[in-house]
Protein backbone atom coordinates (compact mmCIF):
# COMPACT_ATOMS: atom_id res chain seq x y z
CA UNK A 1 0.00 0.00 0.00
CA UNK A 2 2.75 2.48 0.90
CA UNK A 3 4.63 2.21 -2.43
CA UNK A 4 1.46 2.68 -4.51
CA UNK A 5 0.34 5.64 -2.39
CA UNK A 6 3.76 7.28 -2.54
CA UNK A 7 3.93 6.70 -6.31
CA UNK A 8 0.49 8.28 -6.77
CA UNK A 9 1.48 11.36 -4.77
CA UNK A 10 4.72 11.80 -6.72
CA UNK A 11 3.00 11.15 -10.06
CA UNK A 12 0.40 13.83 -9.23
CA UNK A 13 3.17 16.25 -8.25
CA UNK A 14 5.00 15.71 -11.55
CA UNK A 15 1.81 15.84 -13.62
CA UNK A 16 1.32 19.44 -12.49
CA UNK A 17 4.64 20.65 -13.92
CA UNK A 18 7.65 19.28 -15.76
CA UNK A 19 9.79 21.61 -13.64
CA UNK A 20 9.33 19.54 -10.47
CA UNK A 21 12.38 18.21 -8.66
CA UNK A 22 12.50 15.79 -5.74
CA UNK A 23 15.60 15.42 -3.60
CA UNK A 24 15.59 13.16 -0.59
CA UNK A 25 18.05 11.80 1.95
CA UNK A 26 17.48 8.33 3.38
CA UNK A 27 17.20 8.43 7.17
CA UNK A 28 20.46 7.26 8.74
CA UNK A 29 19.57 7.44 12.43
CA UNK A 30 19.37 3.64 12.82
CA UNK A 31 22.08 2.65 10.32
CA UNK A 32 19.57 1.24 7.81
CA UNK A 33 19.95 3.95 5.16
CA UNK A 34 21.31 1.54 2.52
CA UNK A 35 18.25 -0.70 2.96
CA UNK A 36 16.00 2.32 2.52
CA UNK A 37 17.88 3.36 -0.62
CA UNK A 38 17.42 -0.13 -2.12
CA UNK A 39 13.71 -0.14 -1.23
CA UNK A 40 13.09 3.28 -2.80
CA UNK A 41 15.08 2.25 -5.88
CA UNK A 42 12.89 -0.84 -6.33
CA UNK A 43 9.75 1.26 -5.92
CA UNK A 44 11.03 3.71 -8.51
CA UNK A 45 11.67 0.87 -10.97
CA UNK A 46 8.21 -0.57 -10.35
CA UNK A 47 6.25 2.68 -10.56
CA UNK A 48 8.23 4.92 -12.93
CA UNK A 49 5.92 5.66 -15.87
CA UNK A 50 9.03 5.99 -18.04
CA UNK A 51 9.26 9.77 -18.05
CA UNK A 52 11.31 10.26 -14.89
CA UNK A 53 15.01 10.01 -14.15
CA UNK A 54 16.63 9.11 -10.85
CA UNK A 55 20.19 9.96 -9.81
CA UNK A 56 21.60 8.36 -6.65
CA UNK A 57 24.63 9.39 -4.65
CA UNK A 58 26.28 7.97 -1.56
CA UNK A 59 28.21 10.54 0.44
CA UNK A 60 30.77 9.31 2.94
CA UNK A 61 31.25 11.91 5.67
CA UNK A 62 35.01 12.25 6.27
CA UNK A 63 34.47 13.45 9.85
CA UNK A 64 32.23 10.72 11.26
CA UNK A 65 32.47 8.00 8.58
CA UNK A 66 28.70 7.80 8.12
CA UNK A 67 27.26 7.07 4.69
CA UNK A 68 24.39 9.25 3.49
CA UNK A 69 22.27 8.19 0.53
CA UNK A 70 20.73 11.03 -1.46
CA UNK A 71 18.56 10.88 -4.55
CA UNK A 72 17.39 13.34 -7.17
CA UNK A 73 14.25 12.63 -9.21
CA UNK A 74 13.02 14.81 -12.05
CA UNK A 75 11.09 14.57 -15.28
CA UNK A 76 12.93 13.70 -18.46
CA UNK A 77 10.99 16.62 -19.97
CA UNK A 78 12.33 19.17 -17.50
CA UNK A 79 13.92 21.82 -19.75
CA UNK A 80 16.63 22.39 -17.13
CA UNK A 81 17.49 18.72 -16.60
CA UNK A 82 21.16 19.03 -17.55
CA UNK A 83 21.75 22.03 -15.26
CA UNK A 84 19.86 20.33 -12.42
CA UNK A 85 21.93 17.15 -12.68
CA UNK A 86 25.19 19.11 -12.96
CA UNK A 87 24.42 21.16 -9.84
CA UNK A 88 23.21 18.11 -7.89
CA UNK A 89 26.47 16.33 -8.69
CA UNK A 90 28.51 19.43 -7.79
CA UNK A 91 26.85 19.74 -4.40
CA UNK A 92 27.08 16.01 -3.67
CA UNK A 93 30.72 15.82 -4.72
CA UNK A 94 31.56 18.90 -2.65
CA UNK A 95 29.99 17.65 0.58
CA UNK A 96 33.35 17.15 2.30
CA UNK A 97 34.94 20.32 0.92
CA UNK A 98 35.97 22.93 3.48
CA UNK A 99 33.07 25.24 4.23
- Of the pLDDT bands very low, low, confident and very high (cuts 50, 70, 90), residue 52 is very high
Q: What is the pLDDT of residue 81?
A: 96
Cβ contacts of 58 within 8 Å, gap of 6 or more: 37, 67, 68, 69, 70
User: Are the C-beta atoms of residues 20 and 74 closer than 8 Å to each other?
Assistant: yes
CA distances from 24 to 37, 71, 98 (A): 10, 5, 23
| Overall size of the chain counted in residues | 99
Calculate mean pLDDT across residues 50-55. Answer: 93
* Per-residue pLDDT reduced to its tens digit, 24-47: 999 998 999 999 999 999 999 999
The answer on pLDDT for 4 being more than 90 is no
pTM comes to 0.86
Going through the chain in order, the beta strands assigned E by DSSP cover 21-25, 52-60, 67-75
The domain locations on the chain are 2-93
Amino acid sequence: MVPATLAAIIRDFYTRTSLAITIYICDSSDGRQKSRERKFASWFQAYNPGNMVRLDYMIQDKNDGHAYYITLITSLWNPHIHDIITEFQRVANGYNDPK
